[in-house]
A = this chain, B = another copy of it.
Amino acid sequence: MRIGVFGGDGFIGWPASLHLANQGHDVVIVDNLSRRQIDLELGVQSLTPIESIQERIKIWERICNRRIQFEQMDLATEYERVKLWFEDFQPNCVIHLAQQRAAPYSMKSDRHKAYTVNNNVNATHNLLNAIVELEADVHVVHLGTMGVYGYSDIGATIPEGYLPVQIANDDGSLHAQEILYPANPGSIYHMTKCLDQLMLAFYAKNDQLRLTDLHQGIVWGTQTAETKRHPSLINRFDYDGDYGTVLNRFLIQAAIHYPLTVHGTGGQTRAFIHIQDSVRCIELAVNNPPDRGDRTKIFNQMTETHRIRDLAKLVSNLSGAPIEYHTNPRREADENDLRVSNETFLSLGLNPITLDEGLLDELVEIARKHKARIDRTRIPAQSAWTKQIGEKLTNIETIEQVRKRA
């Protein structure tokens, strides 16, 4: 298959590209290198030393004798070039990861909010627009997020994208209908993924595009079978307050005996998936496209759920690092439950890597190994969801204070 990976230089895009190339697909990475530019902006870098995209693909080609092409292009702003690329490469499938993907970054300032909305919306729309304009038959696999569901407990397991509901008729009787799960985004970033959902729904309906949306949990882990094949193929690992996801942050904190920073009470329950499973899921999605005329096919791409404070305890037990409770920079519920259906991927044969089996490895092989590269000043989360919250962010509170406040 000819597969374009938009955002193929990023944290998921890179291992996904290698994984798909390794399966024998003809892969082109399309990327504007924005993730690396944001590292420059924030003055941070991946914990793992990553090579340039040009060097990465050269090494891959040498080792595996399979070529991956690279096209430096901005999906959100270079629509005409995108069309030319489609005509030239004639992809069967496109993986769409070309979006700003950090919630804290999206809330950093009004400039970051505007960038995230403008970039993410136009990237998705340009992709769909070009495919319709060229009358191309391309399956689009879009990376969404569990965050589109929000984390308010509806007393039921979160289904895969569509919620069966009963609606009252005018005579008072009920009728059943299945609706796109009501969006409840918790940040500007998550909001853009909700906007994406509606755009996908429209293009599936009006133009019969074949679209898959992967509602992904928080990804942990760094390496996949392919990225392990050479030190220069290593995947990026973010730990800073904006791009570092919760487990990565706990792991590097543990590696340098920095107190594990739990936000609020740590009562937030979230969904998780290992990067190796994430790229397997993408492969499964690629191989199981919807038919023309179908609504967007939605998979929940996660394998387990955990409460944040339980994860902190787990990492604390592994490492001996203490736990510290901080003001939550986010506006969100202090505590939530989360049950999620991930039937589709399990039924397609996914055999998940669990946190229990993988976490220690990640601590030793990644966090401790590269700990000399950690910049302690970049650890605190500094992007607040509102200006009022921002004023409180410097405080470190005890769990009792946080509970009292809540």
Residues of A within 8 A of B (CB): 79, 109-110, 113-114, 117-118, 121-122, 125-126, 129-130, 132-133, 135, 154-157, 163-170, 174-175, 177, 179-180, 182-183, 185, 187-188, 191, 194-195, 198-199, 201-202, 205-207, 331, 339, 385-387
Given A165-B165, A198-B195, the answer on whether A157 and B170 have CB atoms closer than 8 Å is yes
Chain B residues near A191 (CB-CB < 8 A): 198-199, 202
Interface CB pairs A-B, < 8 A, 15: A79-B110, A114-B126, A114-B129, A117-B125, A132-B386, A155-B170, A156-B170, A164-B168, A165-B165, A165-B167, A182-B182, A185-B198, A185-B202, A198-B198, A205-B331
Q: Given A165-B166, A175-B155, A191-B198, check contact A122 B113 (CB 8 Å).
A: no
Which 3 residue pairs across A and B have the least CB separation, nearest first?
Answer: A166-B166, A165-B165, A110-B133
In the complex the two chains form, what is the Cα distance from A169 to B166 in whole Å? 12
Least distance between A65 CB and chain B CB atoms (Å): 39
Question: Contact partner of A156 among B156, B165, B169, B205, CB < 8 A?
Answer: B169
CB-nearest residue of chain B to A125: B117
CB distance from A122 to the nearest CB of B (A): 6
* Contact, CB under 8 Å: B113 / A125: yes
CA distance A185 to B331 in the complex (A): 30
A332: nearest chain-B partner, CB-CB: B206
A188 touches B168 (CB 8 A): no
**In the complex, what's the smallest C-beta–C-beta distance from A207 to chain B, in angstroms?**
6
Which residues in B have their C-beta under 8 angstroms from that of A155? Answer: 167, 169-170, 175
Q: CA separation between A155 and B177, bound complex, in Å? A: 11
Within 8 Å CB of A121, what residues of B? 117-118, 121, 195
A84 to chain B: closest CB distance in Å? 13
Which residues of B sit under 8 angstroms from A154, Cβ to Cβ?
Answer: 167, 175, 177
A123 to B202, CA, bound (A): 21
Chain B residues with CB under 8 A of A163? 167
A166 contact set on B, CB distance < 8 A = 165-167, 174
Known: A126-B114, A195-B195, A198-B194. Is A182-B185 also a contact (CB below 8 A)? no
- Min CB–CB distance A338 → chain B (angstroms): 13
Q: Kindly state the separation between the CA atoms of A206 and B175 in the bound complex, as whole angstroms.
A: 33
